[in-house]
Structure formats: C-alpha cells, structure tokens
Structure 1
Amino acid sequence: MSMTTDNLALAPIAPASWLFSHSSRRYSHALTLVLIAPLSLLLAAGFVYPIGRLIFLSVMAPEFTLEYYERIISEPLYLYVLLRTLQTGVIVTLASLLFGYPVAYLMARAKGRTAMIVASAVFVPLWTSVLVRSYAWIVLLQRNGIVNNLFIETGIVTSPLKLLYTEGAVIVAMTHVLMPFMILPICNALRTIPSEYERAARNLGAGHIDAFLRVTFPLSLPGIFAGCVMCFILAIGFYITPALVGGPGALMMATLIGQQTLVLLDWPFAAALATVLLTTTLVFVLAFRKALSISKGMNSVN
C-alpha cells in the first residue's frame, strides 16, 4: 500500500545509521571519532609534539647522549634548585590548603550578600594579572613599603627588615596568587555534599568538629586532591612571581630554565631540566592520586 502525502509528512525521519547506535542516547563509533578528532589534533599539536620534541632535544645533540642528565646529577647546584623548587611547591600547596579551605567552606555554605562578598574576594584577584599582583607584593614588602613602615610606626622594629627578595616573600606571594585554584575545587566539592549529612551526624551525638572531621572533610577529599594538584603543578612551574619577588637569591627551576634558554642559549640542557621537572611532576601527581585512593578505601571500610 502506498503512503499518502500526509502520512509521509507525519512519518518520523530515521537518523543515519552511522550517526547513532541502537541506543538513541549513544553515538556510533564513527561519529565519536569525528567529534573527538579536533580535540585530539589540538592535544597532539599543542602538548604531545612539544613534549616529545623537548625530550628528543635533551638526548639528541646531535647524536644520542645522556650528557645533560649526568650534568644535572653531578653538579649539586641543579639538584639543590630542584629540591628547593619542590619544597617551595609543597609549602605553597599546604599554605593554600590551610588558608583556602575555610574560605571555600564559607563560600559553599554562605548565602545572600555574604556569599557575594566571598565570591568577589576570590574571583577579583583571579581576574587580575599575575604580573600586577606580583608588583603589588613588591610595593608591600620593599624596605620603604607598607609593611616595613607599619612595623616601624608601631615600634615592632627600629629599622626596615629585609622582606623582599627572600624565599619567604616568594612563598607568601605565590600562596596569594594560587589560593583561588585551591578554593574553587574545594568549594565545588563541598557544594555537592548535602547539608543533611552533617545534621544527621550531629543528631546521632557528634559535635560540630567531630561531624566535620568524620563526614564533611572526607567527602571533600576529591576537591582537596584537585586543588592540591593544580596548586603544586603551577607552583613548581612558576616563573614571574619568583623572578620579581624572589630575585637571584630564590632561584627556582623555571627561572633556571629561562636563564639557560634566554641568556646562555643552551637549549639541550634546558630541555633536560624541563624533562626532569616534568617527570618529577608526574611522580608527585601519581603519588597524590594513590594517596587519595587509599584514603577513600579507608573511609569506605570505616
């Protein structure tokens, strides 16, 4: 029987078989490959190829050699700079977690005007240039800066302190710059935790602190993990803030790599330094992930 014109108009249009699989909610393999192809090409061109080229340059100069890696191990200066970079990254990450978690908790639980004020305090510095924020710390910490003048006027000290171009200044400035990257993941994790969980724990006899430590804090560990990874990776690769606030006395790996490429023009050695820094970063990320999985397992057992 032939279909009428009205029936043809009302008949559903069958999708192409290569677009969808049997389930209407799933794409076929062909369409999936088409959708991820642009992102895959961008990832290959912007990340995989530069990293591969970097590693190749560090071992092929012009033939295969491990001379530059042996140089890093044999000369104490480079290992010292690497260890100090990792130490600074760990301290900045812990400081960002210590000061950022209460802000994230308030940001997740507050409402109305308080929530708007807290969100503004987090986002406005994030939208400001890192260069501007670093120069602001120079104004605060220099010998005739606001902090030294305040100490002298209050009688805490009689002469200006050396606050700028020190490792402490680098840690303080980097913590200020990176704290939003800790606050936002933790705030997002806290917002996914129903407030009824903590109230139920208090109804069962737990105090505010005990309910927080046994319920809220363990459930916010994924946000803490994400924030720590972001802060640590950004901290050990920071260039602008240590160069401006720390100076030559607080040399870090990013600054050292910049000197090798821009001043000494030793690109293979700079590539070896960058490869070592990248490998160290991956090891720490895997360690963070393993620690998080172990913590989840212990919480599930408890």
Structure 2
Amino acid sequence: MTTTTTTTVPAAGGRGTPGRRGVRLRARAAWLVLPATALLLVFFFYPIATIVWRSFTEPRTGLGNYTALLHDGVSVKVLVRTLVTALIVAASTLVIAYPYAYAMTRVGARARGVLTMIVLLPFWTSLMARNFAWYMLEQRGGPIERLLGAVGFDGVVLLGTVPGVTLAMVQVMLPFMVLPLYSGMEGIDRRLLDAAGSLGAPRWRAFARVYLPLSVPGVLSGFSLVFIMTLGFYITPALLGSPQQSLVSQVIGERVNRLLDFGGAGALGGVLLAVTLVVLFAVSRVARPARALGGAVGHE
C-alpha cells in the first residue's frame, strides 16, 4: 500500500514578505536621503575638492604652495596666531557657558525658557550688526576705552588688535557652547549626586567625581564646535582686526581678492582643513573613553 504525503508549500508572499518589505523601506529611506546628499556633494564637497585641487595645481603642479607656506615666516605666524586665538575663544566660552548651562538644568521651566531665550537672542540679530556694535564699543574714545581709563588703564584701544577680536568672538560663539553643554547636561541623572551625598561625599566632590565626568561629552562637543568655527571665522576679524595682526581668514581673503593667488589661498585652506580633521579625530578619541567613564559612573 502506497502512502502519499502532501507537503504544503508556503505561498510566495509568506516568509519572503518581511524581507521584501525591508528592502522597500531601505529604498524609500535612500530616496529621502538623496536630496540632502546631493546638496552636500554639490555645495560642500565639490568646492572643497576644487580648492584642494587648485592648491596642488596652480600656478604649477606639485607641493610648491605648501612648501612656500612652510618657509614663509608670515604665514606660519598667522597660522599660529589663529590657532592660539581659537583655543582662547573656545576656553573662554567654556568657562562662561558651563555655569550658565548648569543653571539652565537647575531652574524651573519658566526660568529655563527665559535663559534659553537669552542664549538664542543673538541669532535673531544680524551678525554684521553685532560686529558693528563691537566696533563702536572698541573704537578709540568708545565706552570700553573710557571704562578702562576710569579704572586706571589709560589709552587701551581694542579695535584693530587680537584681544579685541577675541573678545568679540567670545560673545559671538557663546551660544554655540551653551547649547551643546545644556544638551549634554540635561540627560544627567541628578539622583547620582544625591546617592554620592548619601555615601558621605561633599557636594564639591560629588560634582567633581560624578557630574563632571558625565558632562565631558557635552564639553568636548561644544569645545570642538567653537574651536573649528573660530579657525575659519571671517567677518569679525575682517571688521575688528588689522592687517598687522590678521588671522588666516583675512590672509585667504587678501590672497584671493587682491593677489589672485588661488593656489596659495587653497594651501592655507588645505592646512585649515587638515587641522579641523585632526581636531575632530582627537575629540572622537577622547570622547570614547569619556563616554565609557560616564557610563561606568552612571552604573555605579
């Protein structure tokens, strides 16, 4: 006697359906990302690639522009001045913004809204208007000179100097430090501080051993953002600085607009790009153990 076994074959739309659905979802996601990717390629990567290419090909193909840059004492001095200025601006904004962002996490909703509005207020004002306001404050006979003269510092004029540019940049860049700090601090569980206090730790030690490590990712984000933006900032140094104490952005503008030295300007831009990539790499290397340390503190 022969027994016939009937095997039921799943329909074509059975197990294969979730896989096809996932492929469709990924395809739709790719179409959604395509406009932003095209915009970045056309208006960001292509100009940067063109600048780097011209730095190696104009006026002659090779490393001549970079060699001349390294052997040019003025350009090296300008690069060092720009790096030092960016470090000072980033450190100054961090010192000012850290307690402000911390206060935003401690107050109520209404006070937090007021503090947030104060931070965002500069974005509602034209950057050119803010720099002209600093021009009026720092000019000879202006309010800052009169104030310094009243406390015994006569004849101090900030306009046309690196300290004057640095002071204005700190005010311009301050929101870019406050917002990343607040974003990082807002997610810190304050019960960890209470737990540290219940174990006998003073407030300052609980803050230094618990809260500060957890806020390091926000600190690194804000510091790197302000530092990188300051490296290539143009408007403030152009309005408030001077040719004798110029920054890299002013030198690049001078080479492009007056000297038509596109290769040399591209070499300076390439050096700034390299510095930016190094900073981002260093921040990513530092942020990884910082996040791990924050996670370890959070689980203790």
Question: Taking structure 1 as the reference length, what is the TM-score of the superposition?
Answer: 0.86
Matched residue, 1:287? 282
State the one-letter code of the partner of 1:232. F
Shift of the 263–221 alpha-carbon distance from structure 1 to 2, 3 Å rule, reads same
Matched residue, 1:213? 208
Shift of the 87–205 alpha-carbon distance from structure 1 to 2, 3 Å rule, reads same
- Alignment partner of 1:231 out of 202, 216, 226: 226
Shift of the 197–54 alpha-carbon distance from structure 1 to 2, 3 Å rule, reads same
Q: Mean Cα displacement is larger for which, 291-300 or 272-281? A: 291-300
* Unmatched runs of 5 consecutive residues or more in structure 2: 1-12
1:36 partnered with 2:33: yes
- Measured after TM superposition, the shift of residue 27 of structure 1 is 5.8
1:94 partnered with 2:91: yes
- Contact kept? 1:261, 1:270, Cα under 8 Å: yes
1:130 partnered with 2:127: yes
State the one-letter code of the partner of 1:259. E
- Alignment partner of 1:162 out of 138, 147, 157: 157
Shift of the 71–189 alpha-carbon distance from structure 1 to 2, 3 Å rule, reads same
Q: For 1:104-143, what aligned pairs fall within 5 Å after superposition?
A: 104-143=101-140
Matched residue, 1:46? 43
Question: Taking structure 2 as the reference length, what is the TM-score of the superposition?
Answer: 0.87
- Contact kept? 2:217, 2:291, Cα under 8 Å: no
State the one-letter code of the partner of 1:156. G
1:254 partnered with 2:261: no
CA RMSD, Structure 1 to Structure 2 (Å): 2.3
- Measured after TM superposition, the shift of residue 35 of structure 1 is 2.2
- Measured after TM superposition, the shift of residue 23 of structure 1 is 7.3
- Contact kept? 2:217, 2:290, Cα under 8 Å: no
- Separation in structure 2 between the aligned mates of residue 76 and residue 170 of structure 1, nearest angstrom: 22
SS at match of 1:220: helix
Percent of aligned pairs with the same residue? 34
- Separation in structure 2 between the aligned mates of residue 45 and residue 240 of structure 1, nearest angstrom: 24
Shift of the 27–198 alpha-carbon distance from structure 1 to 2, 3 Å rule, reads farther
Q: Mean Cα displacement is larger for which, 138-147 or 254-263? A: 138-147
Runs of 4+ deviating beyond 3 Å: 20-24, 26-29, 294-302
SS at match of 1:161: coil
* Unmatched runs of 5 consecutive residues or more in structure 1: 1-13
Q: Mean Cα displacement is larger for which, 187-196 or 289-298? A: 289-298
- Measured after TM superposition, the shift of residue 227 of structure 1 is 0.6
Deviations 1:212-267 (A, max 9, x none): 11111111111111111110111001111111122223211111000001111111
- Alignment partner of 1:146 out of 143, 147, 156: 143
Equivalenced residue count is 283
- Contact kept? 1:143, 1:162, Cα under 8 Å: yes
